[in-house]
Structure 1
Amino acid sequence: MEEPEYAPELDPEHEQAAGWRGFSTLGLFLEEDGWYPQRVDDRPAYRMHYQGANVDIRCLAQIKLEQEQLLIYAYAPMKVPEDKRQLVAEYLTRANYGLHIGNFELDFNDGEVRFKSSLDFEDETLTFIWIRNTIYPSVHLMNRYFPGLMMVMYGEKTPAEAITVIEQ
């Protein structure tokens, strides 16, 4: 990804220059690491996919410009039915306990499940290593815990039983 000859947002004097530099670095990393990112039109973000052993994961990598933060979201490919959301919430809470990087989230309004990891790079230069260490936990943990999510959603296991199976 080539930088334009002059982009005000990359000018060191621009209010959000560090955030835009981070976004440029994020794009370069995603390209070089083989993610095939698609730019999101209305914000500094990219969409991409990750094929895990257990699930095909939709991802979003976003830079919060003013805050100089990197956010990575790994989305489950389906929505949780309304009548299963309490059980799934328990499962995700059990999964979150003890995680060192990131957390699972459930939107009770629509049933969306995602894993989020983030990094604050304020007053620092965002690097490929930091991006890698933020993005891969999201997809790996979604991939790891997805079978348990399915066990709970389809009534095969209780949340506690599903966690025991996944974390063995």
Structure 2
Amino acid sequence: MFDIDAQEIESAAPPLDMLAHYFEAHGWAFERAGDEEIVAKVEGSWTTYQLRALWREDERVLQFIAFPDIRVPEGKRTRLYETLGLINEQLWLGHFELWSGDGALLFRHGVLLDEGSGESGLTLGQTETVVEAAIDECERYYPVFQFVLWGDKTPLEAMAAALIDTAGEA
């Protein structure tokens, strides 16, 4: 995906440093918000995603969040919660959730970095998995959320309409 030498691939770095390196290598705008947070923006095919990583040194946990720029109005939250249930049961890594305060939809997952494993940080492979899983899932399910919120489809109708598997090549 981008040019990096083999030694960098095998070694681990502090999580936010590795994410900064990854974002920079992709040409994505990002900024560090202190020692425990990094925020980036990436253009997807549906919207611009805000990516946010929070590092908790004491717990050795990296929380990674992708915001697909969707706000859910009060009157549509029940239907969206049903949609989230259907989507989340299909995911292997991370989950979608709705923040009750402002109705923001987000994708979130965490990475526990075990001090006893010999690795002192996040590897390039872990970084790629964390970031790409978040973006891929947001891209995959964005149309489902739009069908439910603005197309007045039921969650099952939205899933059926938006997640059509294609065969072959065009």
TM-score by length of structure 2 reads 0.79
Contact map agreement 2:41 2:50 (CA 8 A) in 1: yes
Match in the other structure for 2:6: none
Distance in 2 between residues matched to 1:165 and 1:30, nearest whole Å: 33
Distance of aligned partners of 1:91 and 1:157 in 2 relative to their CA distance in 1, 3 Å threshold: same
Query: Does residue 91 of structure 1 match 2:91?
Result: no
Structure 2 residue runs without a partner (length 5+): 1-12, 165-170
Match in the other structure for 2:9: none
Contact map agreement 2:29 2:42 (CA 8 A) in 1: no
Q: How far did 1:108 drift? A: 2.3
Distance in 1 between residues matched to 2:108 and 2:123, nearest whole Å: 19
Give the fraction of aligned pairs with identical amino acids, expressed as a percent: 26
Distance in 1 between residues matched to 2:137 and 2:15, nearest whole Å: 24
Query: Does residue 73 of structure 1 match 2:65?
Result: yes
TM-score by length of structure 1 reads 0.80
Of residues 116, 130, 141 in structure 2, which corresponds to 1:145? 141
Q: What are the Cα deviations for residues 50-89 of structure 1, in whole angstroms up to 9, with x where unaligned?
A: 2111222111122121122222111121310000011111
Contact map agreement 2:16 2:53 (CA 8 A) in 1: no
Q: How far did 1:159 drift? A: 0.7
Query: Does residue 51 of structure 1 match 2:47?
Result: no
Q: What are the Cα deviations for residues 117-156 of structure 1, in whole angstroms up to 9, with x where unaligned?
A: 2211121331111011011111111111111111111243
Number of residue pairs aligned between Structure 1 and Structure 2: 148
Distance in 2 between residues matched to 1:155 and 1:30, nearest whole Å: 34
Query: Does residue 111 of structure 1 match 2:103?
Result: yes
Distance in 1 between residues matched to 2:23 and 2:48, nearest whole Å: 17
Of residues 5, 14, 17 in structure 2, which corresponds to 1:21? 14
In the TM superposition, 1:114-129 aligns within 5 A as 114-123=106-115, 124=119, 125-129=121-125
Contact map agreement 1:92 1:104 (CA 8 A) in 2: yes
Structure 1 residue runs without a partner (length 5+): 1-19
CA RMSD of aligned residues (A): 1.7
Distance of aligned partners of 1:33 and 1:122 in 2 relative to their CA distance in 1, 3 Å threshold: farther
Q: How far did 1:23 drift? A: 2.6
